[in-house]
Amino acid sequence: MKMTGAKMVTESLKNEGVEVVFGYPGGAIMNVYDEIYKQTHFEHILTRHEQAAIHAAEGYAKATGKVGVSIVTSGPGFTNAVTGLADAYMDSIPLVVITGQVPTTIIGTDGFQEIDAVGISRPCTKHNYLVNKLEDLPRIIKEAFHIASTGRPGPVHVDIPKDITAEVGDYIYPKEVNLPTYKPTVNYNKKQLKRAMQAISKAKKPLLYIGGGAILSNCAYEIRELAEKLNIPAVETLMARGVMGHTNPLLLGMLGMHGEYAANMAAHETDLLISLGARFDDRVTGRLDEFAKKAKVIHVDIDPASIAKLVHTNFPIVGDLKVTVQGMIDSIGEFEFNDYTNWVALLQDYRVQHPLAFKDSDVKIKPQWPIVRVGELVGDNAIISTDVGQHQMWSAQFYPFSYPRQWNTSGGLGTMGFGLPGAMGVAKARPDKVSINFTGDGSILMNIQELMTCVEQKLPVINIILNNNYLGMVRQWQTMFYENRLSETDLSAQPDFVKLVEAFGGIGYRVTTKKEFDEALKDAMEKKVVAMIEVIVDRNEEVLPMVPNGHALNEMMLLGDNDE
């Protein structure tokens, strides 16, 4: 069938079963948008900024496990999208991002809105393409979806010149991809797995170290089964919240710079660290030469480049995590394991001695309280998004996550401005859940324009601003490590957030008491429109525990003046 390149784009998305596209049109991508106007197979969400389009697609992908799709134009449209691409790349989120490019006859002449998009996106995408010939377009889009969603997932960028989208040719969508140099290892090596299981059987203090790969490979329930059958305690990274479920007695909480005492001490004392889809991020390990220094390491990852990248690995296993963990479960009967009861009891005692806590107050709302309260009132019915900063760490620490894909945050890149558009993508993907975005007074202003998208698209995102009039996390570091020199972190000059959200067509609340918060949350959930609950919180609260930069995990700061 003959059709234009633009029509090939929409037909290819139809062939891939795409249901939702987030995007923003412009000159170089107008032919594609003309076809989007005509088609009926997928819904297009017009965001108000290209960065937000990518973050919304990320939120959609994280909530569903499907490939998120965004379309933006050339030049500034693309460069605005780069932060989103980098964010998705760092967190291994499957995206296909299609961009317009100037016509092939103008490329290299500094034409209007020309930018070397492929050159710029190369270090922040899993793969990228510049479409030079119309006949390549269907194959490239097929490959883009395959690469984005297989192996270690990630964003794939497809840059299409405007004249290619106008050209007419035969449309043949491939049934399969043929990429001889790209063949991710799905099935584990049986000898490697046997050696790892032997090591577990001999260990006295084994510990499961669960990373975001557990979410990406949909193996949370296999990991729970493995932990419970062998009675092995577990810690989660920021990106793995929800894998074990907060009520599981084997879960010791989050690991790392703001991890729980028991989790960090478990990593310090373990004699066998079993890494499942984790990448040994510096915010997790602290001082690397002290991290799990008493332990041998099993590292399971589908990306061989991640194994032994930062720590010596005694027992590497390359393979899909779900397949590998199921293999570990199936082989349990072949080994005789030690009794880890005393080890588990020791770590549970650590949790009793040093629980994750804060000193509550009825005079000033502590920023942790609204997070705990939403957990009590909404619990499993909410999917939680955040921006980046103190509120992000408090959310990761205190929200009672029960299941995978309940948590949507920017982990690797730490992108302020992620929360609102990310929660927008969640609201589109999971209308059966309440999409709640915990944010800060600094972060929310970075993509505030997406309130308009929420109003237009009837996406009832509830934004809860923990307003301390500071760039809180930077202020915390300045207080602790820069002798309280608060350089450019005071955000006392602020808009009226209630009037701001009302100007966009949403509803707003400014609360200073716990009673007002409960009433605002209840009202926002009943009205089911985009809302903003501004909570005036204690300005000087700190995120604790904290491992100072360059220190080992067992060198945590546990108490501050506000938490005595």
Please spell the DSSP secondary structure of 528-551, one letter per residue: TS-EEEEEEB-TT----SB--TT-
Residue 21 bridge partners (DSSP): 44
Tokens encoding 34? 């003309």
Element housing 252 (H / E): strand 251-254
Q: Model confidence at 564, in pLDDT bands (50, 70, 90)?
A: very low
Of 160, 26, 36, 169, nearest to 103 (Cα)? Answer: 160
Which residue do the tokens 């609360």 mark?
Answer: 511
Of 479, 466, 451, nearest to 391 (Cα)? Answer: 466
Helices then strands, counting H and E runs in the chain, come out as: 21, 20
Of 54, 49, 132, nearest to 95 (Cα)? Answer: 54
CA distances from 214 to 275, 298, 300, 322, 489 (A): 10, 15, 10, 8, 36
Domains of the chain: 2-170 (3.40.50.970), 190-353 (3.40.50.1220), 367-536 (3.40.50.970)
Of 425, 392, 542, nearest to 477 (Cα)? Answer: 542
- What is the reported pTM? 0.97
Which 8-state DSSP code applies to residue 411? -
Q: Could you list the active site residues?
A: 50, 112-113, 162, 473
How confident is the model over 174-203, as pLDDT tens digits? 999 999 999 999 999 999 999 999 999 999
Q: How far apart are CA 37 and CA 328, in angstroms?
A: 50
How confident is the model over 496-505, as pLDDT tens digits? 999 999 999 9
How confident is the model over 465-483, as pLDDT tens digits? 999 999 999 999 999 999 9
Burial 535-560 (b: 16+ CB within 10 A, else e): bbbbeebbbbbbbeeeebbbebeeeb
- 157: Cβ–Cβ under 8 A, 6 or more apart, which residues? 85, 97, 99, 117, 118, 121, 125, 127, 128, 129
Tokens encoding 490? 């005071």
Q: Model confidence at 452, in pLDDT bands (50, 70, 90)?
A: very high
Which 8-state DSSP code applies to residue 22? E
Q: How far apart are CA 466 and CA 476, in angstroms?
A: 15
CA distances from 538 to 360, 394, 463, 512 (A): 11, 14, 19, 10
Q: Please tell me which of 53-62, 305-314, 552-561 the model is most confident about, judged by mean pLDDT.
A: 53-62
The 3-state DSSP class for residue 216 equals helix
How confident is the model over 89-114, as pLDDT tens digits? 999 999 999 999 999 999 999 999 99
How confident is the model over 18-61, as pLDDT tens digits? 999 999 999 999 999 999 999 999 999 999 999 999 999 999 99
Q: How far apart are CA 64 and CA 78, in angstroms?
A: 25
Strand residues in 292-394 grouped as ranges (E): 296-301, 315-318, 382-386
